[in-house]
A and B are shown apart, each in its own frame.
Chain A
């Protein structure tokens, strides 16, 4: 009986334990490989020198003080949304409605600015705007949570649909408040009076936003790892049965956490509308509600890691924009580079959890 040796060439098995530097080394290797792959693609399709492309990406992010500020402002907003969705994700409540919660928070902010713009002193107005944004975002988060807790509805679909409702509400109010008539745009609100605009710290336009989010990051880290509520969220996420077993009121935790999550998304909308853009459009969230999902996952739901992952994504985005401008390439090329780099980084997670072993006697078989 002649038996062919068909032992598998590559065996995949789960890793037990890696030394602390293991994951770092694997991720670093992934980034190096990603850059190499990008270099090949770049040269093959555009004929540009890949090193120059990388340099351009770097200058796109850090080239001038202004670019650096914009980078950090963008990180701040993305990080704010990512922090917002994280408690829900830890609870295994798949909130993909951050986009809508941001929009509705922004809409509430804009409504206060337009309707109360000249009627209240600025600090009072800003306080009301903030409360309105938190309440609106919280409400937008609470609706799917209550339905989940009561009737066990599917939160993924529900929060997704809430995005469309929010978008249409914004579209409606944009037409109510549009300037000039029929334009479908509100434009900058209170451009002359600057009523309801967040104050600027010194000459730094974006510093306030960045500081707010920095404080929020630390607070969220403490909340999730040290507070009783954070602990409850983790237990509910791991096992609702365990949570009930120890007397945690699961429905209440779900609703409470989603109000928090939605309110913080509303805060992000507030920072956008009151802090920087001073307008509301249906696209003001710019897909950040979905990018935040990736930021949160990639960071393993750790707020401190999220600083890095949001930095990575914003850096790639800013760099990609600079490539488009400097080399006259389409924006899509920057997206291709971003895609390749993300592919390698996400792919590296596999190698952190699993190991591959080649068949030992592979050579002898042939």
Chain B
């Protein structure tokens, strides 16, 4: 009898832990301040949502991956806010970047979906295959690069101007460095940041450069070291990379990879960390400063509404700070420099009104010279042929010619380690 009681108790304990965890992640997703705007857009669609629409979502992993969780939460939020019932949206999790993605997309079409989303870069080609086969169904792929050159009216890419979010996060990092310099922990010349990247891919280059430029805008002497792990999710490699950067003398770490490796390494070493994908404050209460992330809910809402209304969807959709796609978490006052939140509001206003451009060519040099012209590789091809002039009006036009980032200049002040990937 005692055993049974013990079993029941432990079950209850497990269940309560599970619900507690679930609660945490839910709280995190509703945190962004821009929600009001999202809901404002969603409101008029609610009447049409009763229509017979079915939406399919393809995710690379399941909710155990922070990357996919971010998408899953946004998808659920968008569907619920549009009044879709549970049998009107289908989640397919753990879909690898191969034929399985094509199969899953086709199965979703078989199940009656008229719009199918996929969340991982490697899904793109298989989504295109499916799009060719089912012209009446809309296929929307996040982070992809090929929609604007494919010429398919039912295949679309989406991204967000996350470089702006990272720029803001960089400002928070710069302020923290300034505070540490003032406290005499190190000199202004020693202000060096570390960055753990996944691949040497434009999305990552754009990300770390904007982060660096954000920091440099408040801490002009800052330099940065970037290392690459060759994987989007490799907890051990990310942790090792962060530790290496710390031992190289980096005073602050940020990352663009999806595991908790770098943040936990920072917490252990007591080094401030600017995070990505969402708040890591629970695991890193002493070192977490702020985190930027893409909120996909506005995009999902927009596309589903467009399908309902029978409107054309553009080949590329770039979410912005303004439409609530690019968001920052709350600043952790325990770790951030004083006045960070206020400064971030100020810079954000500047980004919104166009007085600040992240890739302002006056703020950086390449090999000692300012950049006046740059042909970017916007149209994807196996030979990486540069094709589009991206610099004009004194700044690099990121995410304008396609939604996915294509800024891949190697600017001064950033040194790259382990670039094999």
The short answer to whether A and B are in direct contact, CB under 8 Å, is yes
Seen from chain A, the residues whose Cβ lies within 8 Å of a Cβ on chain B are 64, 66-67, 70, 171, 175, 177, 179-185, 187-188, 191, 272, 276-279, 281, 283-284, 286, 321, 324-325, 328, 330-331
- CA distance in complex: A185, B101 (Å): 15
Given A66-B106, A175-B421, A330-B62, check contact A279 B230 (CB 8 Å): no
Residues A181 and B129 in contact, CB atoms below 8 Å apart: no
Residues of A within 8 A of B128 (CB): 188, 191
Closest 7 CB pairs of A and B: A182-B201, A188-B125, A182-B200, A276-B99, A277-B99, A187-B125, A277-B98
Q: CB-defined interface of B376-413 with A at 8 Å, one 1/0 digit per residue?
A: 01001110100000000000000000000000100000
Residues B199 and A180 in contact, CB atoms below 8 Å apart: no
Residues B202 and A180 in contact, CB atoms below 8 Å apart: yes
> Chain B: how many interface residues by the 8 Å CB criterion?
41
Residues A181 and B125 in contact, CB atoms below 8 Å apart: no
Residues A184 and B230 in contact, CB atoms below 8 Å apart: yes
- Subset of 17 A-B contacts with CB under 8 Å: A66-B103, A180-B377, A181-B202, A182-B200, A182-B204, A182-B205, A183-B201, A184-B198, A184-B199, A184-B230, A184-B231, A185-B122, A191-B125, A191-B129, A286-B96, A324-B94, A331-B93
Given A66-B110, A331-B93, check contact A281 B98 (CB 8 Å): yes
CB A311 to nearest CB in B, in angstroms, measures: 18
- CA distance in complex: A330, B63 (Å): 8
Given A185-B97, A284-B98, check contact A325 B200 (CB 8 Å): no
Residues of B within 8 A of A183 (CB): 121, 199, 201
- CA distance in complex: A64, B201 (Å): 39
Residues of A within 8 A of B231 (CB): 184
Residue of B nearest to A286 (CB): B96
Give the total number of A-B pairs whose CB atoms are below 8 A apart.
88
CB A333 to nearest CB in B, in angstroms, measures: 11
- CA distance in complex: A325, B57 (Å): 10
Residues of B within 8 A of A70 (CB): 103, 107
Residue of A nearest to B420 (CB): A175
Given A187-B124, A330-B63, check contact A180 B145 (CB 8 Å): yes
Residues of B within 8 A of A177 (CB): 382
Contact among A278, A281, A283, A325 with B92 in the assembled complex (CB-CB below 8 Å) = A325
4 further interface pairs, Cβ-Cβ under 8 Å (given A187-B125, A188-B126): A184-B230, A185-B97, A325-B91, A331-B62
Residues of B within 8 A of A67 (CB): 107
CB B371 to nearest CB in A, in angstroms, measures: 19
Residues of B within 8 A of A277 (CB): 98-99
The answer to whether the Cβ of B90 comes within 8 Å of any Cβ in the partner chain is yes
Q: Which of A180, A191, A330 has the most CB of B within 10 A?
A: A180
Residue of A nearest to B406 (CB): A180
